[in-house]
């Protein structure tokens, strides 16, 4: 009798254990993440997700420059070590073309996840078609101009600028005005005019895109034909090279985002063309006491900057269990509640309803400007070889900015490179 | 009887060597052969299939790229300068250590430190030290009243800055090899030279250098191979820039394979690099043999 009771109790226990979702115990989600504030914001919230679902999430944080290679190596292997992916918009052509990503539409349909609040341009940027959603937007990195208001308001600086140029010292409205202002500050010797990220590759390609769009240029026309080699493109490149040589810090041609951030934070630069969400990082009394409270954000002079974004994807080469857990995480982290919580920590939203959330606007009034930056942004060309094109373009920009090539020749080579890669 | 013994020695020799050779075939031969197959295939990361085979088309595509020739020339310049620097400094340090009587283990321990560090760590450390605006090197220069230097952002200087960092790290390896060579040289010729009244310089020039030649040759060839394959330093320090001023051949191959997604062209570039290194090695040893 006693044995019978024990057996029954054991069976009941086993049944109860079996009723607990398997993933709650066994799945650990692993993601390769860019080491930026956005990642840190999400990382802080991970215990909350784990508590709710029992799914553990581990972030491996590295610099952007190493991410593509590490991810590609996993995506071509039989089973990816990373079972939830952070995907840059620059790879939104390559990864789905290579067949490395799950289509998220079935997951969206099954869970009833609402895509309507997502800014449509962000979904487009990350490769959504009418048939498939390979990547769900995570955060945007539209770029704008961050500048020092205290320097613009300084009476001595104002007088010196007026004496030199005959004009009032006001925030620049065109790209040419911006570069002129940048050179003025550097010539003054107190600060450099622009903290620039001129290292070949992603840093200078992203930075230059702002100059191109500000000057009215474009990479591709409406028919997706290469339009880079244009008078506007040439103006943009000449102004870019001029600013590197005469407005930026020493070493701009080897500088990355981290270098520009440090320079701006140290109070040694008047401005930087950068991701708009760098503002709360710089405008922080503890981290950057020299510039906190003295900064403003604007849309790129000229009206348009580079727009980019990261998204979440699920690799095909991982288990079904991992895929289900990965979607659960994506759904949670991009939901309204988590998005607002992230925004209150400085997140760059991809949902329109977060930009208009009263709590977010109360804490960060500049999110209004941020929405303008996002809405006016234009995109780098997205196709299977976008990552390679960044390198091709970056090499030519670096040659022109370093005085090793004429801007005309560099622009032509950059345009020819784009034509060749698009034809592949 | 003698023939039978030789036959048995031959069989024993192969039996002892076989496990090692098998291991080499698996860990080196197979990847090498697979890379060779990839280099004549149409395999890319977007189309992961070896067929159809395209013969030497990937090699031709690479040879037609002016960047390849630029990268090759940069690699040659870089390798020659770094190996020469490492050898000259390494020999000087080895000679000094050879003459010291005390604390030799301490010197060797200190010298081993840079060599024991991974090139990636070395590059990251130097990147911070040479940071133009906040780095300690420029700060020191400024404190001494000297102008700041744009170490990695100046296209005329970046390659030589990289070479300097490489020399800093790799010289200790040359020192250790040459110091071991110097310690093993016989004393008799020096004693005879002293009796004949030879100066220290004459002893160095006519005795030390010729006797050290085989060891020196080994050090030079190992370093030449290392320098031709340099990849970590440009990857961390400059990403091949400014412009293409630090784009050495291995970085060119990486760009083809991973940024361009063309593993086949990357493999072809790697094979060209391998052939150059092999050619150099053969030429070097042939020259050495002739001089003997």
A:B CB pairs within 8 Å: 105
Structure tokens at B268: 């072809």
Binary contact (A262, B134; C-beta < 8 A)? yes
Report, as an integer, the average pLDDT of A60-77. 90
DSSP string, A64-119: HHHHHHHHHHHHTSSS-S-SSEEEEGGGTTHHHHTT-B--SHHHHHHHT---TTB-
- At A164-189, the pLDDT tens digits run 999 999 999 999 999 999 999 999 99
- What pLDDT is attached to residue B80? 95
User: Which pairing describes strands A306-307 and A56-62: parallel, antiparallel, or unpaired?
Assistant: unpaired
Shortest Cα distance, chain B CAs vs residue A202, angstroms: 10
What average pLDDT is seen over chain A? 91
Q: Is B239 on the interface with A (CB under 8 A)?
A: yes
**pLDDT tens figures, A334-377:** 999 999 999 999 889 999 899 989 999 998 888 888 988 988 88
On whether any CB of chain A is under 8 Å from the CB of B36, the answer is no
Nearest chain B residue to A399 by CA: give it: B243
| Predicted local distance difference test score (pLDDT) of residue B51 | 83
Structure-block tokens of residue B65: 């790229």
Q: Do A72 and B243 touch (CB under 8 A)?
A: no
The bridge status of strand A295-298 relative to strand A143-148 is antiparallel
pLDDT band per the 50, 70, 90 thresholds, residue A287:
very high
pTM: 0.82
**With bands split at pLDDT 50, 70 and 90, how would you rate the model's confidence at A8?**
low
pLDDT attached to residue A243: 98
Q: Is the pLDDT of residue A195 over 70?
A: yes
Q: Does A210 touch chain B (CB under 8 A)?
A: no
Mean pLDDT, range B62-66, rounded to an integer: 89
Q: Do B132 and A268 touch (CB under 8 A)?
A: no
Selected residue of B131, B133, B139, B247 to mutate for chain A interface (largest A Cβ count, 10 A): B133
What confidence tens digit (pLDDT) does each residue in A41-50 have? Answer: 999 999 999 9
Residue A11 is predicted with a pLDDT of 47
- The partner residues of A29 in beta bridges, in order of sequence, read A57
Crossing angle between the packed helical segments B66-99 and B209-228, to the nearest 10 degrees: 140
For the stretch A326-355, what's the b/e string if a residue is b when 16 or more beta carbons lie within 10 angstroms of its beta carbon? bbbbbbbbbeeebbbbbbbebbbbbbbebb
CB contact under 8 A, B239 and A199: yes
- Say if residues A313 and A383 touch (Cβ distance below 8 Å): no
Residue B266 pLDDT > 50: yes
Pairing relationship of beta strands A378-379 and A309-313 according to DSSP bridges: unpaired
Check: CB of residue A281 under 8 Å from CB of residue A287: yes
Edge to edge, what strands does the sheet with A85-88 contain?
Answer: A85-88, A309-313, A136-140
Mean pLDDT of B235-244: 91
Question: B243, B248, B258: which to substitute to probe chain A, counting the most A Cβ within 10 Å?
Answer: B243
Q: Which residue has the tokens 């300084």?
A: A154
pLDDT digits (tens, 9 = 90+) for A213-266: 999 999 999 999 999 999 999 999 999 999 999 999 999 999 999 899 999 999
The runs of H, that is alpha helices, within A313-366 are 320-333, 336-343, 352-355, 358-363
Task: Tell me whether B148 touches chain A (CB under 8 Å).
Answer: yes
Mutant choice from B127, B231, B241, B256 vs A, greatest count of A C-beta within 10 A = B241
Interface touch B240/A200, C-beta < 8 Å: yes
Hey, is A29 helix, strand or coil? Answer: strand
Using CB atoms, pick whichever of B150, B239, B244 lies closest to residue A251: B150
- Chain A touched by B241 (CB under 8 Å): yes
Largest CA distance in chain A: 103
How many angstroms separate the CA atoms of B173 and B167, rounded?
A: 10
ipTM rounded to 2 decimals: 0.77
The pLDDT confidence band at residue A4, using thresholds 50, 70 and 90, is: low
Q: How far apart are CA B106 and CA B123, in angstroms?
A: 25
What is the mean predicted confidence (pLDDT) over A387-397?
94
Q: Do A404 and B261 touch (CB under 8 A)?
A: no
**Cβ neighbours of A76 in B, within 8 Å:** 45, 48
Please report which confidence band the pLDDT of residue B23 belongs to, taking 50, 70 and 90 as the band edges. Answer: very high
Please give the average per-residue pLDDT across B130-156, as a whole number: 93
The CA distance from A309 to A18, in Å, is 41
Within 10 angstroms of residue A408's Cβ, the number of other Cβ atoms is: 13
Residues in chain B: 292
| pLDDT tens column, B92-115 | 999 999 888 788 889 888 988 998
C-alpha to C-alpha distance for B72 and B278, rounded to whole angstroms = 15
pLDDT at A21: 45
Residue B272 contacts residue B59 (beta carbons within 8 Å): yes
Question: Parallel, antiparallel, or unpaired: how do β-strands A28-34 and A85-88 relate?
Answer: unpaired
Q: Which of A154-163, A335-344, B276-285 has the lowest mean pLDDT?
A: B276-285
């Amino acid at each position: 009798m006693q044995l019978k009771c024990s057996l029954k109790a054991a069976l009941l226990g086993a049944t109860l254990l079996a009723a607990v979702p398997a993933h709650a115990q066994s799945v650990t989600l692993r993601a390769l993440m860019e080491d930026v504030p956005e990642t840190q914001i999400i990382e802080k919230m991970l215990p909350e997700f784990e508590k709710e679902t029992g799914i553990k999430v581990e972030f491996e944080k590295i610099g952007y420059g190493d991410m593509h290679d590490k991810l590609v190596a996993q995506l071509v292997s039989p089973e990816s070590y990373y079972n939830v992916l952070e995907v840059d918009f620059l790879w939104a052509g390559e990864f789905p073309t290579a067949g490395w990503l799950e289509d998220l539409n079935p997951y969206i349909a099954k869970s009833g996840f609402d895509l309507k609040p997502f800014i449509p341009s962000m979904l487009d940027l990350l490769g959504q078609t009418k048939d498939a959603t390979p990547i769900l937007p995570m955060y945007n990195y539209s770029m704008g101009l961050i500048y020092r208001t205290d320097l613009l308001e300084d009476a001595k600086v104002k007088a010196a600028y007026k004496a030199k140029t005959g004009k009032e010292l006001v925030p620049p409205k065109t790209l040419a005005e911006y570069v002129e202002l940048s050179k003025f500050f550097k010539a003054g010797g107190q600060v450099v005019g622009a903290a620039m990220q001129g290292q070949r590759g992603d840093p200078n390609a992203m930075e230059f895109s702002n100059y191109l769009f500000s000057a009215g240029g474009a990479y591709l026309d409406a028919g997706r034909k290469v339009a880079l080699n244009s008078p506007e493109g040439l103006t943009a490149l000449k102004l870019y090279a001029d600013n590197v040589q005469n407005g930026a810090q020493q070493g701009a041609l080897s500088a990355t985002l981290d270098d520009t951030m440090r320079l701006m934070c140290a109070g040694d630069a008047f401005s930087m063309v950068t991701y708009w969400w760098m503002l709360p990082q710089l405008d922080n009394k503890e981290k950057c006491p020299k510039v906190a409270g003295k900064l403003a954000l604007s849309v790129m002079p000229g009206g348009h900057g580079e727009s980019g974004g990261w998204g979440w994807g699920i690799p095909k080469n991982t288990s079904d269990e991992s895929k289900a857990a990965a979607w659960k995480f994506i759904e949670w982290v991009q939901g309204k509640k988590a998005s607002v919580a992230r925004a209150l920590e400085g997140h760059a939203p991809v949902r329109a309803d977060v930009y208009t959330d009263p709590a977010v606007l109360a804490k960060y009034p500049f999110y209004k400007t941020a929405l303008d930056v996002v809405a006016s942004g234009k995109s780098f060309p997205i196709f299977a070889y976008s990552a390679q094109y960044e390198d091709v373009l970056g090499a030519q920009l670096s040659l022109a900015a370093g005085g090793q090539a004429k801007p005309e020749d560099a622009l032509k080579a950059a345009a020819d490179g784009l034509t060749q890669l698009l034809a592949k | 009887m003698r023939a039978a013994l030789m036959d048995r020695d031959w069989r024993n020799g192969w039996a002892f060597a076989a496990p090692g050779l098998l291991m080499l075939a698996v860990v080196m031969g197979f990847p090498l052969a697979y890379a060779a197959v990839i280099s004549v295939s149409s395999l890319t990361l977007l189309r992961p299939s070896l067929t159809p085979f395209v013969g030497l088309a990937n090699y031709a595509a690479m040879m037609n790229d002016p960047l390849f020739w630029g990268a090759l020339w940069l690699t040659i310049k870089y390798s020659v300068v770094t190996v020469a620097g490492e050898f000259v400094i390494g020999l000087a340090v080895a000679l000094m250590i050879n003459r010291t009587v005390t604390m030799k283990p301490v010197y060797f321990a200190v010298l081993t430190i840079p060599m024991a560090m991974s090139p990636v760590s070395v590059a990251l450390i130097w990147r911070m030290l040479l940071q133009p605006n906040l780095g300690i090197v420029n700060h020191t220069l400024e404190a001494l009243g000297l102008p700041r230097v744009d170490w990695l952002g100046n296209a005329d200087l970046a390659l030589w800055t990289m070479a300097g960092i490489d020399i800093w790290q790799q010289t200790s390896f040359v020192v250790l090899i040459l110091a071991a060579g110097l310690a093993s040289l016989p004393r008799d010729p020096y004693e005879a030279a002293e009796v004949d009244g030879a100066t220290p310089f004459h002893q160095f020039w006519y005795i030390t250098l010729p006797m050290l030649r085989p060891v020196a040759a080994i050090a030079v060839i190992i370093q030449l191979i290392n320098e031709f394959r340099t990849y970590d330093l440009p990857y961390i320090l400059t990403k091949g820039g400014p412009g293409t001023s630090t784009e050495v051949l291995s970085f060119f191959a990486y760009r083809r394979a991973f940024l361009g997604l063309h593993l086949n062209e990357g493999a072809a570039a790697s094979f060209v690099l391998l052939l150059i290194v092999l050619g150099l090695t053969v030429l070097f040893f042939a020259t050495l043999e002739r001089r003997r």
